[in-house]
Structure 1
Amino acid sequence: MAPFPASGHPAAEAYLADGYERVVGMSSRFAAAICARLLRLQTEEGVSGPIAEIGAFEGRFFIALAHALEPGEIALGIDIFEWPNPEVRERFEANCLKYGIAPEQRVTIKGDAGAMAPAELLAHARGERLRFIHVDGEHSRAALSKDLALATACLSEGGLIVLDDMLHPGYPTLMVAVQDYLEANPGVVPLCIIDRETIVGATKFVLCQRDWFERYQAALLEIFKEQIWPLGADFEPHWCLVLSLDTRLAEIT
């Protein structure tokens, strides 16, 4: 098995090692470490600004991302905060405080992202475009299509969109929404796939602007060389990396 990648942020490393699994949620620690490192890569490439998570729930993944921000940057946590009960917002706020994300580092937004206009989201981000958006909202084709449209409209130059629960057996139609989106938005391409850790901690797709693909991919090949599955992913005709804890190829005898 490949080792867990380093996130590149001491605070994120500490949280991932002793805190991540204590916060209720379903996102994998492997994916969180990779996404925290992607935020560091953006900083290294001169990409800065706020980030957002659609579907913050109790804050497990959100806290990891927030720890990977630079001073002065903020994280937006968006959720209807009604499932499984209205107290979920209180738990989100308490987890953020417990694990070191101060109120001035974040903005909590109660509402349906699918009903939000880009100008409204950007206003929450102090008028700045978002450099990283994690989409983990309602798992339906219609909702994902709306979230993708909002993310695209608010994304900064060099920004990344990360889609959760891709290829999950419980949500097989989400891939249809993604394929429709990619065909309608040729300026956006998959940068990499983050393989599942378990059936619960499922696959994520990372999308970037086409003009940034080669630049980011060159860095990923070095940063994640121990986590690269050799065959990659074929999006017909686009090809991208697959990052996995299990990088073996099938033995053919």
Structure 2
Amino acid sequence: MDQLARPALPFSGHDAVEAYLSDGYDRVVGMSSRFAAAICARLLRLQTEEGLKGPIAEIGAFEGRFFIALAHALEEGEIALALDIFSWPDPGVEQRFEANCDRHGIGPERRRTIKGDAGAMAPADLLAQADGDRLRFIHIDGEHSRVALGRDLALATACLAEGGLIVLDDMLHPGYPTLMVAVQAYLEANPDIVPLCIIDRETIVGATKFVLCQRTWFERYQTRLLDIFKDFVWPLGADFEPHWCLVLSQDTRLAEIV
């Protein structure tokens, strides 16, 4: 789709993120959407407004497209952790990741690159990379299997700060239909964690994301989201039986029933 014909994006809350999304995001190889990046950057701003601070992490940083957007949304002194095996599709991906970060303004002082399998990492080791601070935002975009997602979710939950958010990529993707099985099992085993919102897909490649939060923070976040993203709220929402949450979409129309 031509850039001029794209639907409007929500304001990310950060001038640096806006500049990157308008000129840079599409030039970094990756599969996440600009719509989701704008929303997640605004969620980071919302956390700051709510008094939350600290490091963030992405599991599955690849060449850095989404990671750079998140890192631009951090406050002074906060760091972003990039976890990846950095061997797919070839060993040069780590070098491309580092070059993309440098090219788009995320210098070594603002990021930490961790090469390895997140699923094999102990929570204490990940927290040590964050100087002992718990993570306020974790984006999971690692290996797309039920087992791997379950491990990544366990790691994220163990490292999550009070009020933190976990964002899951490629949910409801036609290429990975069993990921939802892992999510449902996780939610049933962790009743203190609930879906906060669904970020609708931009394309099949830029697929749906689920945003999870602690149950005690749900109403606090939802109240703000209803105001911040009022132009992007799909009216019917999402039914997780019995939990209900927002759906944020660029297309908020309802089906016509005649």
TM-score range, shorter chain: over 0.9
Partner of residue 243, structure 1 = 248
Matches within 5 A, 1:76-225: 76-225=81-230
Distance 1:161 1:169 in 2: 22
Distance 2:39 2:138 in 1: 14
Distance 1:35 1:50 in 2: 15
Partner of residue 228, structure 1 = 233
Amino acid at match of 1:72: G
Secondary structure in 2 matching 1:143: helix
Distance 1:84 1:162 in 2: 24
Secondary structure in 2 matching 1:246: coil
Matches within 5 A, 1:22-61: 22-61=27-66
Distance 1:242 1:200 in 2: 19
Amino acid at match of 1:115: A
Moved over 4 A (4+): none
Distance 2:18 2:113 in 1: 23
Distance 2:88 2:150 in 1: 21
Amino acid at match of 1:239: W
Distance 1:116 1:78 in 2: 10
What runs of 5+ residues in structure 1 fail to find an aligned partner? none
Q: CA deviation at 1:2?
A: 6.2
Distance 1:80 1:156 in 2: 25
Distance 1:134 1:41 in 2: 16
What runs of 5+ residues in structure 2 fail to find an aligned partner? 1-5
Spell out, residue by residue over 1:92-132, the C-alpha distance to the aligned partner (whole angstroms, 9 max, x if none). 00000000001000000000000000000000001000000
Aligned residues: 253
Distance 2:109 2:255 in 1: 49
Q: CA deviation at 1:3?
A: 2.7
Partner of residue 74, structure 1 = 79
Query: Are positions 1:18 and 2:54 aligned together?
Result: no
Could you tell me the TM-score, scaled by structure 1's length? 0.99
Amino acid at match of 1:131: R
| CA RMSD in angstroms, aligned pairs only | 0.7
Question: In percent, how many aligned pairs have the same letter?
Answer: 82
